[in-house]
Structure 1
Amino acid sequence: MAQTSDLIDILKKLLKRHNKTYAEVAACLALSEASVKRLFSEQNLSLQRLDRICALMDLEISDLVREMRAEQAHAISELSQAQEKEIADDLSLMMITVCILNRWSLQDILQHYQFTEPQCIRYLAHLDRLRIIELQPGNRIKLLTAPNFKWRENGPIMNLFRAKIESEYFRTHFSKRSEKLIVMNGMLSDTSNQLFQRKMAQLAKEFDALSKDDSSLAIGERKGSTLLIGLRDWDYEHLFRQK
């Protein structure tokens, strides 16, 4: 899960801040140093082990969570208009940005797209300059966006998505197991309309939460999915209007 990854990153940072080595952590857990490194790499720490590592630094797990939340508070939730335009003007950069926001690694991108490693690293360096990521040693990627990160309303990227949606999104019969289309028509009061809009917003949050939960799965276990939710004043009168 996304929060597990953030928590492990904070734990590593605090261990470094307290001058604690993997060897000391290994002794604390009665494990080999190689086993500790594997636990961190696989993000597979039980609460009991997490508690013992925190105790090594005279900390509680709650201190770890507090530190994580403090760091997230400084994360970006939205780019500037100019920053979004930089991304929207380069479709390759746009593609890599979307991959990174879905927590792909450099190797994931290289395996699935026709980028060379130097090309990909240049794009990642661009995202580092925009403070979307921190490009770490070994070309590891740390996402710096806040949990509530979103594209600007009517910004360059949303406008790009709308243009693509209008021309391409509905070029399917929605007959696959992974697809669904529901079209409904009715008459709603203003109160009911606003209530339904709130339900739509909640559904979008659930989609985002599931996407974040699945971010730790291998790329082959998840597929790109685009959810389009819309509600507007519209009826069928124009379909029957005489020319």
Structure 2
Amino acid sequence: MSSPELVLQVLRAEMRAAGVTYRQLAQRIGMSESSIKRLFGQRDMALSRLAQICHAVGVSMEDVLRQSADLTPRADTLTLAQERSLVADPKLLLVANCCLGHWSFEQIVETYDLSDAECVRRLVKLDRLALIELKPLNRYRLRVTQNFRWRPDGPVQQFFREHIVEDYFGGRFDGEGETLLCVPARLTEASAREFVQKLQQLGAELARLHQDDRRAQPPLRDGFTLLLGFRSWELAAFTALRRPAA
């Protein structure tokens, strides 16, 4: 279902909740009942008309749009073909990574050696790949869930292993605001799921701080990267020292 259809679906639900019929709505905005039915049957509506109907029903247009956005289907992962397209173009993967971190268009071109046109072309391609929904003025909305992750052993994860992990963990992690933790624990599956949710919240908090700091002068900002991994694992050398099972 497309976004305009979802908006009309929410609007119909609001009308039912308010007890407003097509006939009553037509009287309130000076149209015929048949015209109202045609308007809803077209599965699209001008914003000015949507605002007029929302006012007549007694609901805010912002609330209707928010509800329809919440209903928009979003994916937890991309397909193999979509990930291969990202890996085939390093600049596209870069812009995708920035979008997942909620970077604005201006922040991307300010930070990286990308022209406005190059960045726009990548945003258009990400829209076609269904990672984002591109909006006017180079704004966008993510079309993936907060639980989005790259495919296990997929093209992007393989790219990260080959080009990122060794380089990332080769650092000393002793700079201001840096840390490296390796914390072993024995958990139930329920506790592990709870911890994963907290890690996802941590990622969202980093994105919020990034947005809050976007107005700070460039010399006051530095590039930080959070690389999270959490799985059932033990270093092989430690496993070899385990006691034999009873």
TM-score > 0.5, shorter chain as reference: yes
Residues 27-72 of structure 1 deviation map (CA, whole Å, 9 limit, x = unaligned): xxxxxxxxxxxxxxxxxxxxxxxxxxx756521686565333212x
CA gap of 1:226–1:90, structure 2 versus 1, over 3 A, is: same
CA-based RMSD: 3.5
| Unpaired stretches in structure 1, ≥5 consecutive residues | 1-9, 22-53
The alignment of Structure 1 onto Structure 2 pairs a total of residues equal to 192
Q: Deviations over 1:194-213 (max 9, x none)?
A: 46633541332221331354
Give 1:124's aligned residue.
123
Of 152-161 and 177-186, the range deviating more from structure 2: 177-186
- Does the alignment pair 1:207 with 2:238? no
Matched, 1:82 2:81: yes
Q: CA deviation at 1:235?
A: 5.0
DSSP 3-state at the match of 2:134: strand
TM-score for both structures, normalised by structure 2: 0.63
Equivalent AA in structure 2 for residue 67 of structure 1? S
1:156 maps to 155
Match of 1:148, SS state, is coil
Given that 1:136 and 1:142 are in contact with CA atoms closer than 8 Å, whether structure 2 keeps it comes out as: yes
Displacement of 1:92 in angstroms is 1.0
Q: Deviations over 1:154-187 (max 9, x none)?
A: 111112122234421222221123221233568x
Cα gap change, 1:141 to 1:194, in 2 (>3 Å): closer
What is the aligned counterpart of 1:197 among 186, 192, 199?
192
1:173 aligned counterpart, secondary structure: coil
Match of 2:30 in 1: none
TM-score (norm 1): 0.64
- One-letter code aligned to 1:157: V
Question: Which runs of 5 or more structure 2 residues have no equivalent in the other structure?
Answer: 1-9, 11-43, 242-246
CA gap 1:196/1:157 in 2 versus in 1, 3 angstroms: same
Alignment of 1:176-191 (within 5 A): 176-184=175-183, 188=186
Residue identity opposite 2:86 in structure 1: I
**1:114: how far off?**
0.9
Pair 1:229 & 2:224 matched: no
Structure number with greater Rg is 2
Cα distance change on mapping 1:237 and 1:227 into 2, 3 Å: closer
The CA distance in 1 between the partners of 2:120 and 2:157, in whole Å, is: 25
Counterpart for residue 133 of structure 2: 134
Q: Give a deviation string over 1:103-122, Cα, whole Å, max 9, x none.
A: 22222111111111121111
Greater RCO (CA < 8 Å, at least 6 residues apart): 1
User: What is the alpha-carbon distance in structure 1 between the residues aligned to residue 178 and residue 89 of structure 2?
Assistant: 29
